[in-house]
Amino acid sequence: MAMLQEFKEFALKGNVVDLAVGVIIGAAFGKIVESVVGDLFMPILGAIGGFDFTNYFLPLSSAVNATNLVDAQKQGAVIAYGKFITIAINFIIIAFVLFMVIKAMNRLKKAEAAAAPAVPPPPSAEVILLTEIRDLLKK
């Protein structure tokens, strides 16, 4: 019983380590996606369609008359919805990549399950005994 408890504690520690590694990798992956969106996609969208989401904002006071977000925030309260659009694009990319990774992992699990044929379990002691009795009755 004590050995089972030790195994459970060991398995729990392993799960915590796995979770910590996943969080760290997820944070790093988020930074990569943020860079891809901010440094690659947004400039291309800006060059092609004239979109520059970074300076999209709604002023909340009449004192705000700046044309870029940084100056507008210095003048007063603004709703910077351009940043929200960029973060939403980041989320969509991360969600799509995670969806594809999980889909590939499920496909690999199915392939492993199909590749390994199920071995029938050995007959139980009762079945062996009943088989011997049947064979003796036939004689």
Would you list the domain boundaries of the chain?
A: 10-128
What gap in Å lies between CA 45 and CA 56, rounded to an integer? 14
Dmax over CA atoms of the chain, in Å, equals 107
104: closest CA among 96, 92, 115, 114? 96
- What's the average model confidence in pLDDT over 52-62? 82
What gap in Å lies between CA 5 and CA 60, rounded to an integer? 60
51: closest CA among 6, 102, 85? 85
Q: Is the pTM of this model over 0.85?
A: no
Segment 22-53, tens digit of pLDDT: 888 888 888 888 888 778 877 777 777 666 67
Give 90 or 52, the one with higher predicted confidence. 90
CATH second-level architecture of 10-128?
Orthogonal Bundle (1.10)
Assign 9 a pLDDT band (cuts: 50, 70, 90): low
What gap in Å lies between CA 21 and CA 14, rounded to an integer? 11
Q: Measured between alpha carbons, how far is residue 11 from residues 7, 8, 20, 22, 25 in Å?
A: 6, 5, 14, 16, 21
